[in-house]
Structure 1
Amino acid sequence: MKEWKGAAAICVNDLNEVLVVRGVGADTWSVPSGGIEPGETPEECCIREVEEETGCKVRIIKKLQVKDTVIQGIKVTTHYFEAEKTGGEIVVNDPDLNIEEASWKSIEEYKSLAQMYPEDFPLIHKIASLRKTIT
């Protein structure tokens, strides 16, 4: 079976909004993510993909989980990280030309949008809830 390994970032700002992206020609949203390149760690991939897809620079706060699934016959392993924005502004500069829009969305707004990976919402909601109690 073919395999794909990647990383995804759950990034919540001080307004308790989550950083999300929408693919070209799609109406579904997800957290920034992408494939791990040769010689790259999951953490390095996460940081690079967020910057490419959203223009935002981030640092990893902690590893959250690894999700294993099969999508269209491909074994998919995604490393999820909690990330914090350290700089940059929203600007899509995706070299793969897969991302059409990046945005900060409140948890309530994101909950109401079509989500590419609805199984990720409980984790995103948990991170936002924890973040809210800290700030």
Structure 2
Amino acid sequence: MWKGAAAVCINSEFKLLMVLQGKPEEEKTWSVPSGGMEKGETFEQCCYREVWEETGYRVNVRQQLHEKNGEVFGSGFIVRYFRCDVIGGEPVLQDPDGLIYDIAWKSADELHALPLTFPEDLPFLSSMLSSRQSAG
């Protein structure tokens, strides 16, 4: 079973931290910072490491917001999404896998217009942006 974590970072302007990613031969698409767990990691540690590797930001991993389970290519997967607050760092392309092409903060309107790596995440991510904005 593949296990991974994803970060939902929303800034004071109610924009979501996203990365443009893909293999060199693929069309590039947008997603929240995410990736697979390494041996010995917790989901929270994976989330922290993936944000750092993919964006250069340091985060405080706060709480689990969502869990996605399924099967792909005959193998099960689980991804836990965490609310994270950026507490330091600078945006820098430093992904060790070489799969990140851009780092950007996207508004709710922009989110709906982007080609998403995981289009099934759109309702969840949209609800996170609108709930944070209404909580003000």
Same fold by TM-score, threshold 0.5 exceeded? yes
Q: Which residue of 2 aligns with 1:6?
A: 4
The Cα shift of 1:67 comes to 0.7
- Partners in 1 of 2:132 and 2:107 — Cα distance? 13
Q: Which runs of 5+ in 2 are unaligned?
A: none
The Cα shift of 1:27 comes to 2.6
- Partners in 2 of 1:125 and 1:52 — Cα distance? 25
- Partners in 1 of 2:59 and 2:135 — Cα distance? 19
Q: Which residue of 2 aligns with 1:46?
A: 47
The Cα shift of 1:92 comes to 1.6
The Cα shift of 1:28 comes to 1.3
- Partners in 1 of 2:58 and 2:70 — Cα distance? 28
The Cα shift of 1:129 comes to 1.3
- Partners in 2 of 1:81 and 1:99 — Cα distance? 20
Q: Which residue of 1 aligns with 2:19?
A: 21
The Cα shift of 1:132 comes to 1.1
The Cα shift of 1:61 comes to 2.1
Q: Which residue of 2 aligns with 1:78?
A: 79
The Cα shift of 1:31 comes to 0.6
Matched residue of 1:127: which SS? helix
- Partners in 2 of 1:85 and 1:16 — Cα distance? 13
Which residue identity is paired with 2:10? Answer: V
- Partners in 2 of 1:127 and 1:87 — Cα distance? 22
Q: Deviations over 1:21-51 (max 9, x none)?
A: 1114433111110111111100010011001
TM-score scaled by structure 2? 0.91
- Partners in 2 of 1:61 and 1:123 — Cα distance? 17
Which residue identity is paired with 2:9? Answer: C
Which residue identity is paired with 1:29? Answer: W
Identity among equivalent positions (%) equals: 43
Q: CA RMSD in A?
A: 1.3
- Partners in 2 of 1:103 and 1:64 — Cα distance? 21
Matched residue of 1:59: which SS? strand
Identify which range, 17-26 or 54-63, moves more after superposition. 17-26
- Partners in 2 of 1:17 and 1:65 — Cα distance? 19
TM-score scaled by structure 1? 0.92
